[in-house]
Amino acid sequence: MSTDTVLNVYRLGVSPYQNQKFKEWEKESLEKIEGIRYLNTLEEGDAQILLTNTHFKPKKDIAQHSIKTENVQLIIHPNSGYDNFPKDFVTESGIPIVLGNPIRAHAVSNYILASIFERETSIPNESYWNKSRVWDRKLLCQKTVAVIGLGHI
């Protein structure tokens, strides 16, 4: 990337479990990268990179924020779910979308399977992320599970 090229990054929303200073820390981290400018509001410029969260609804949120999709070059969805992106949005927008990393996907799939097999394990419900959380439970990785069906898991 040339030194005079600047990509504007805009976050559409922060997940409720994030620390109150999350956006501030994210901005500091991203602006250390040459050519990146973190927008606090869209009045500061057009966004080329959109950062999303769990609650992201592409058509609704893009319209609500009056984002010019012709300027968007990339959407980064750090969460693991494909369910936020309807097929028509993906095919019609032509915007490359980077989904969450495999570690998060693995955790989410374990949670979903644990929910399905809740008789075998218990899942505590917490409103905020507790970094020190541990609970006595049987892990699915210690079990043999057969999944039969079609589609994404």
Q: Where are the alpha helices (DSSP H) in 2-153?
A: 22-30, 58-64, 87-93, 102-116
Q: What is the pTM (predicted TM-score) of this model? A: 0.65
- List pLDDT tens digits, range 12-29: 888 777 788 888 999 999
**Residue 60: pLDDT over 70:** yes
pLDDT of residue 121: 66
Q: What percent of the chain has pLDDT over 90?
A: 24
89: buried, middle or exposed (CB in 10 Å: 19+, 13-18, 0-12)? middle
Quick: pLDDT tens for 102-125.
Answer: 666 677 777 777 777 776 666 666
pLDDT at residue 34 is higher than 80 = yes
